[in-house]
């Protein structure tokens, strides 16, 4: 396979940054293009939980996410952990028998798949991990010690900064208007909204929730779900939690030295019912206060509603589209968990032409059938 001369990575969230960084370190010429600023879209407004415990619907998907955790550890060793990497584990518990039974069944499956899980009581969690929590002393709590959370914007900044220092180009705040192909159907150019045109021979569509529009520029139909989510940041004088957790009705994690991030699928269900983001943020803080009373006095700094980048069947779309030589997709929900492993696998495929079996179930051509 002919080695690409210049690769345009469209979308510089966590997945695009990881693809471009991996390509650059292997000697490829990379052009990052983002309509906004790197890492400030969905990547910055995600719960940012690195895990495989919530990915058991298909074994191949679980295995890909386990590889994602391992690749994060390799990435932290390669670039240094800094402010972006927080491998502090994850807690989960429920407040009704049906949800508790579901968590127990899932933990048993994970244990059978050699995924580390510890079962604690609420009292043990308060004693060992999180003294600020309010929870029944006897409630079962599942602790996943190998899981983590990531500050996505900080990681993207680190990866793009290193890539640019090694020769990559960055076009931010400018959208892609067109993708041109030659008479042979191969990718040839990318046209930007300012009228400029870049000569490239490879395009990576990592445009997240806008991926279907980018695919449309090559007359490709990429079906996507519309599943918006609301994420709130609280300003805290003291961050009272130390790790990501799924408590009843609310997800909570630290976000640095003075901030906490909140999300809830129950609150997501209110999006589109007339509730404005400020009210959604207030409801999220109220729900969090029941678990961490100290958060009741925290100030909501911002609430953002973002559309998650989920292909129609719920699984990633990663790899080449054989009908358009030079076009690749890197589109996935769980981009925070999967970004580094997708970046590594896709960069290797672009440069070698060899397909990795780990991506066999997630190929883009499944949507062309």
pLDDT at 357: 97
The shares of helix, strand and coil residues in the chain, as percent rounded to the nearest 5, are: 35, 25, 40
Backbone Cα Rg of the chain: 21
pLDDT at 1: 55
The answer on 284 and 325 residing in a single domain is no
In a domain, 131, yes or no: yes
Distance CA 124, CA 112 (A): 24
pLDDT at 44: 96
Using pLDDT thresholds of 50, 70 and 90, give the confidence band for residue 5.
confident
Distance CA 60, CA 260 (A): 33
In a domain, 53, yes or no: no
Using pLDDT thresholds of 50, 70 and 90, give the confidence band for residue 12.
very high
Element (H or E) spanning 366, and its range? none
Place of tokens 């060992």: 128
The answer on 315 and 261 residing in a single domain is no
- Cβ atoms < 10 Å from Cβ of 250: 24
Give 75-84 pLDDT, tens digit per residue: 999 999 999 9
Distance CA 133, CA 241 (A): 8
Q: How many CA atoms lie within 13 A of 126 on its CB side?
A: 15
CATH number for 230: 3.30.9.10
Instruction: Read off the pLDDT of each residue in 26-50 and give the average, rounded to a whole number.
Output: 97
Overall number of domains in the chain? 2
Instruction: Read off the pLDDT of each residue in 363-368 and give the average, rounded to a whole number.
Output: 93
Instruction: Read off the pLDDT of each residue in 327-344 and give the average, rounded to a whole number.
Output: 97
In a domain, 177, yes or no: yes
The share of the chain scoring above pLDDT 70, in percent, equals 99
Instruction: Read off the pLDDT of each residue in 309-330 and give the average, rounded to a whole number.
Output: 97
Using DSSP's 3-state secondary structure scheme, residue 87 falls into coil
Q: Which two tokens stand for residue 258?
A: 């003075």
Alpha helices (runs of H) in the chain, residue ranges in sequence order: 14-25, 59-79, 97-112, 122-128, 152-165, 211-216, 265-268, 277-289, 335-352
CATH number for 172: 3.50.50.60
The answer on 302 and 230 residing in a single domain is yes
Last residue of a domain, one of 277, 307, 337: 307
Distance CA 282, CA 229 (A): 15
The answer on 297 and 166 residing in a single domain is no
Give 285-309 pLDDT, tens digit per residue: 999 999 999 999 999 999 999 999 9
pLDDT at 369: 55
Element (H or E) spanning 299, and its range? strand 299-307
pLDDT at 309: 95
| pTM for this predicted structure | 0.96
In a domain, 65, yes or no: no
CA 204 to chain centre: 17
Query: Across all residues in the chain, what is the average pLDDT?
Result: 96
Domain span at residue 31 reads: 7-47+152-225+311-368
Distance CA 165, CA 149 (A): 27
CA 20 to chain centre: 16
In a domain, 242, yes or no: yes
In a domain, 266, yes or no: yes
Give 145-186 pLDDT, tens digit per residue: 999 999 999 999 999 999 999 999 999 999 999 999 999 999
Give 222-261 pLDDT, tens digit per residue: 999 999 999 999 999 999 999 999 999 999 999 998 999 9
The answer on 315 and 213 residing in a single domain is yes
Residues 6+ apart with CB under 8 A from 54: none
């Amino acid at each position: 396979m002919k080695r690409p001369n210049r690769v345009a990575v469209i979308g510089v969230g966590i997945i695009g940054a990881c693809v471009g960084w991996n390509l650059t370190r292997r000697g490829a010429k990379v052009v990052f293009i983002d309509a906004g600023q790197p890492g400030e879209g969905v990547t910055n407004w995600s719960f940012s939980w690195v895990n495989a415990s919530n990915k058991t619907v298909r074994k191949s998907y679980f295995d890909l996410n386990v590889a994602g955790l391992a690749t994060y550890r390799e990435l932290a060793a390669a670039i240094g952990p800094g402010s972006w990497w927080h491998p502090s584990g994850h807690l989960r518990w429920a407040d009704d028998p049906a949800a508790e039974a579901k968590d127990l069944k899932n933990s048993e499956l994970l244990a059978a798949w050699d995924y580390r899980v510890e079962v604690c009581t609420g009292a043990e969690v308060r004693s060992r991990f999180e003294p600020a929590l309010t929870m029944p002393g006897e409630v079962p709590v599942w602790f996943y010690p190998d899981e983590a959370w990531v500050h996505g914007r900080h990681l993207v900044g680190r990866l793009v900064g290193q890539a640019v220092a090694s020769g990559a180009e960055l076009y931010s705040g400018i959208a892609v208007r067109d993708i041109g192909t030659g008479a042979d159907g191969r990718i040839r150019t990318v046209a930007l909204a300012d009228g400029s045109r870049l000569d490239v021979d490879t395009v990576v569509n990592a445009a997240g929730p806008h991926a279907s529009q980018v695919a449309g520029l090559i007359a490709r139909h990429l079906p996507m779900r519309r599943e918006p989510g609301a994420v709130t940041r609280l300003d805290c004088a003291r961050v009272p939690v130390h790790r990501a957790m799924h408590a009843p009705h609310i997800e909570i994690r630290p976000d640095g030295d003075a901030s906490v991030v909140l999300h809830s699928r129950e609150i997501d269900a209110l999006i589109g019912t007339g509730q404005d983001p400020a009210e959604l943020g207030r409801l999220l803080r109220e729900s969090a206060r029941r678990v961490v009373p100290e958060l009741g006095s925290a100030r909501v700094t911002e609430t953002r509603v973002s559309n998650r980048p989920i292909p129609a069947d719920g699984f990633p779309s990663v790899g080449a589209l054989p009908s358009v030589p030079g076009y690749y997709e890197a589109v996935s929900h769980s981009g925070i968990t999967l970004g580094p492993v997708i970046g590594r696998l896709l960069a290797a495929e672009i440069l070698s032409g060899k397909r990795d079996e780990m991506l066999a179930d997630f190929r883009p051509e499944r949507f062309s059938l």
